[in-house]
Amino acid sequence: GPDLIAAGEKVFKKCAACHQVGDGARNRSGPALNNILGHPAGAVDGFRYSSVFQDMQAAGLVWTEDELAAFLTAPKTYAAGTKMSFRGLSDEEDLTAVIAYLGSFAE
């Protein structure tokens, strides 16, 4: 609901150094994250992914809520060699909220 999305917007401040989402979002040091929930990994136009992300894309990985939660909990464990330099979110409520926030930018 709206409260969860608002909470997720706050959590996204941890991501915003590298990612944009919403109207006019562009690739920065991380890919733009519009429409990411339910869509293939490693497939944002114009972004240069690490080889592990290219492999995930080739393998057909789709960002379901569960896959996003697993990645965002421990990025470097989930995707060894990823260039996403982020420790991960340990708080389960933060995780749920930020995934709901990203899901609010689905087309």
Binding site residues, ligand HEM, CB under 6 A: 14-15, 17-19, 29-31, 33, 36, 41-44, 49-50, 52-53, 68, 72, 82-86, 89, 98
User: CA–CA separation, 102 vs 22, rounded Å?
Assistant: 9
> Taking the complex as a whole, how short is the minimal distance between the CB of residue 7 and ligand HEM, in angstroms?
13
CB of 26 to ligand HEM, least distance (A): 13
Nearest distance in Å: CB 92, ligand HEM: 13
Instruction: Please calculate the CA angle 20-78-68 and round it to the nearest 5 degrees.
Output: 45
The two structure tokens encoding residue 24: 């006019």
2 CB-contact burial (10 Å; exposed 0-12 / middle 13-18 / buried 19+): exposed
**Phi-psi label, residue 23: left if phi above 0, alpha if psi -120 to 50, beta otherwise:** beta
Query: Which lies closer to ligand HEM via its Cβ, residue 8 or residue 23?
Result: 8
Q: How far is the CB of 98 from ligand HEM (least distance, A)?
A: 5
